[in-house]
Structure 1
Amino acid sequence: MDIVRVFGKNVRKYRMKLGISQEKFAELAGLHRTYISDIERFQRSISLDNIQKIADALQIETYLLFIDEE
């Protein structure tokens, strides 16, 4: 399992479910838009603190970001 790819796909999926842009989502998470873009393009590994910020901004449990649905 490529955890960076799974995480990035799930961030995008849940962000799209909320119907918000990367820019708005980055604002909600307290992160930069290019950082979110890098995550969704599988270009960045991230810290546990930022994983929690992302889950909180998506209003989901953290573990959901690591479930591989493929």
Structure 2
Amino acid sequence: MKTKLKVLRAKKNLTQSQLASILGVKQNVVSKWERGDSVPRPDMMQRIEDYFKVPKEDIFFTAFNYLK
């Protein structure tokens, strides 16, 4: 499942490469996060939350959507 990261990135008019550079990762990593193929480590989720000023739970909701 996709994340809200792509929407947030687009609102700031950033390319995947630009966001990757800001976060210190490679472009393909950002692509995987956006597609929901992988999720960032907790420390990186916090950096993304701080950058976009959006709770990480809202950006990566599938990572926090545990079955009960």
* TM-score under structure 2 length normalisation: 0.70
How far 1:29 sits from its partner (Å)? 1.4
Over the aligned positions, Cα root-mean-square deviation in angstroms equals: 2.0
Q: Hey, what's the Cα distance between the residues in 2 that align with 1:39 and 1:64? A: 14
Are the structure 2 counterparts of residues 14 and 45 from structure 1 closer, same or farther at C-alpha, using a change threshold of 3 Å? same
How many percent identity over aligned positions? Answer: 21
In the alignment, residue 36 of structure 1 is paired with which amino acid? V
State the number of aligned residues. Answer: 62
Counterpart of 1:27 in structure 2 is: 21
Normalized per residue, which structure has more helix? Answer: 1
TM-superposed deviation, 1:65 = 1.5
Distance in 1 between residues matched to 2:60 and 2:27, nearest whole Å: 21
Task: Verify: 1:38 aligned to 2:32, yes or no.
Answer: yes
For 1:38 and 1:66, how far apart are their aligned partners in 2?
12
Name which one, 1 or 2, has greater alpha-carbon Rg.
Answer: 2
Would you identify which runs of 4 or more consecutive aligned residues in structure 1 move more than 3 Å? 59-64
Shift in Å, 1:64: 3.4
